[in-house]
Amino acid sequence: MKSDDFVNRPISALRFISLSLRRTASTPRATRFARLDLDLFTKPSKRPPYGEFITFKPLFFQRCQGFTLIELLVALGLAMTVLGIMAAFLVNTSRSSTAQTAAASAQQSARAGIEYIVYELRMAGLDPLKTAGAGIEEISATGNKLRFSLDRCNLPIGDPDSCTTPVPDGDVDDMSERVTYVYDPASQVLRRCLYETAATFGTDNSDGTCQPVLEKVVRNPGGIALFTFLDNADTAITADSDRGLIRTVILTLTIEEPAGQMKKMTRTYSSRVRLRNIGL
């Protein structure tokens, strides 16, 4: 059997190998497989010159073909499915993180604002000398405005000392002794104003020296007012003429923060403040 026959007729080649092994069984061990030729499963080639390497090229690799169109489409479909799942997971994670950040920001702003206002409300009506007439000076029926006074400083308005060592002097005309909190629903800003004049008394505005305390303040759920005023029997007071009966103020704040894709997160906080310096 020639070398070309081994390539073209592999079954006959295997039978020839089997016969060759049986026929050489009686030969010495060292030469038992001497008749096997390595190029039986390769293309016949010329013997290379002395000193050069013989390169075998199996027929298996010569018959290999590329992927079919159906296989490529299936692989592409699987890849797109996996990428779609990963993209959806990343988008949901990003949205969740944005919402949590917005909620935390709204919560922190509302809490900080309430703590600051509550601290000053507890000082309302402070009058150690009993001659200043400090107390609640004005409320609005809408609950958007509150003005109160306290006697805690003996320095005139504009003094550079800023009243670091407060000393009462029997009046409420000095530095930071008349405080107004007013909420503007249109701009969603809660402001703190000092030294309001009679020009804006009785209105939901203030012409004093104002600074924003909180922004993005929206209307409370259920139509609850920003300031709710109660007497000793917890009866609501809305008329400014009855402000002398106020003993408790309930402060309710709702802060709104954007959370991406036209979504918003809101947080509502409420605090009940007992006016300890009024009604003594």
What is the per-residue pLDDT across 223-260, written as a single tens digit (0 to 9) for each?
Answer: 999 999 999 999 999 999 999 999 999 999 999 888 87
pLDDT in the model for residue 48: 54
**pLDDT of the residue at 18:** 46
What's the confidence (pLDDT) of residue 140?
93
What is the pLDDT, as a whole number, of residue 213? 92
pLDDT at 32: 44
Q: 150 and 127 in contact (C-beta within 8 Å)? A: yes
Ranges of the chain whose pLDDT falls below 50:
2-3, 6-7, 11, 13-25, 30-44, 60
| Dist CA 103 CA 101 (whole Å) | 5
Q: Tell me, rounded to whole angstroms, the distance of Cα 15 from its chain centroid.
A: 76
- Which of 106, 122, 118 has its CA nearest to residue 278? 122
The structural domains of the chain, with segments of one domain joined by +, span: 3-62, 106-274
Give residue 105's pLDDT: 83
pLDDT at 4: 52
Give the model's pLDDT for residue 33.
43
**Residue 162's pLDDT is what?**
81
Q: Is 91 left (phi over 0), alpha (psi -120 to 50) or beta?
A: alpha
The rounded distance, in Å, linking the Cα atoms of 6 and 13 is 5
In this prediction, residue 21 carries a pLDDT of 44
